[in-house]
A and B are shown apart, each in its own frame.
Chain A
Amino acid sequence: MTQMTMIAAIQNAHDLAMARDENVVVFGEDVGYFGGVFRCTAGLQQKYGSSRCFDAPISELGIVGAGIGMAAYGLKPVVEVQFADYMYPAYDQIVSEAARLRYRSGGEFTCPIVVRMPTGGGIWGGQTHSQSPEALFTHVAGLKTVIPSNPQDAKGLLLAAIADPDPVIFLEPKRLYNGPFDGHHDRPVRPWKTHPLGEVDPGYYEVPLGKAAVVRAGQELSIVTYGTMVHVAIAAAEETGIDAEVIDLRTLIPLDTETVMASVQKTGRCLVLHEATLTSGFGAELAAQIQAECFYHLEAPVLRVAGWDTPYPHAQEWAYFPGPDRVGRNMLKLMEA
């Protein structure tokens, strides 16, 4: 085992995938010589040459569109959109093209691309470095959407995403790159190098897509969440003393309904938590499925806690971010319901 930050784990996944399969190519804005603004592709150009890892013009449409063409040819492009907030120019290519090549060509053309993008807030990034657009992908038939919450998973999920025959949107919670941020912005974050989930197997392994993890076992209440909010949920459970079970979905589509439903049927109470805006968020999908599957087990309606339905503000970041206090309050409310 080697201690890695999430950045190092992601870099390592690229490295192993490129070493194993010469069809893996990596590109995006600043990813070549510099190794990415978050350094997730550091050293790859130096190691594999500039025709397998290179800088792209600032055109997200171009990056994803070119990636789709390469994927259709038979390569395995792993492309970076510098921030998820900048994926909108690529959205047509993702929705109308990547997601549908297989379907519309009867399986003749396929698109095994991975589109990586840092997601989420908590870094004083304002409205264009903080968004969580996962629901814009989960709403699209033909895409898989993955969001890791720690270095171990990030590496294994990225390797599984690269191996996957279909397009995968890989969202990296940037607030977790260096440590398991739990929403207590006024306290230092424990670095991954001292955290058990920062212990990463240096070899090749996959964490299967579509498998959730129970990251905290509990009896009284289930928190269904993913990404940064996994750590916020754990903190809120400890601080409220409520015996909550915390489920880290890891993959939103395909969704591990088995793990989710088993937990909610056991606890009878469910809080769905994400950082993205509330309305039409992925939490709405979760709540709908949970109430349909667990109706007779539920002691209270499923409760959603999410970002407010506003653009992500700068100065009011911590009033916006669903931190452990807000989550804890809602857990108490759910216990009383």
Chain B
Amino acid sequence: MLLIRCPVCEMDRPELEFRYGGEAHIARPLDPSKVSDEEWADFLYFRTNPKGLHVERWRHTAGCGRFFNAVRHTVTDRFVTTYKSGEPRPDLEALARKLESAR
């Protein structure tokens, strides 16, 4: 079974306890009436969908119940790192280089 490290519980936990929450670090426009339809549609519907490292939200639903963020590789399904909500987005290029050199 895939194990995911919950940064709140500070331990690896089985995938079955988690729910996926979509791409992370997508900020809602502070004043929706001021943005164009295109910008609003972009916020609502358009995601990066990369082949490779993806920054995404997860929730430890059947555990501590908290949302957190993860960097997962969309090809290998490997979780590269997880971190608490509110912490800065990691440098994906540095992470990718680290993965490459560890191969």
Q: Do A and B bind each other?
A: no
A residues adjacent to B (C-beta < 8 A): none
B residues adjacent to A (C-beta < 8 A): none
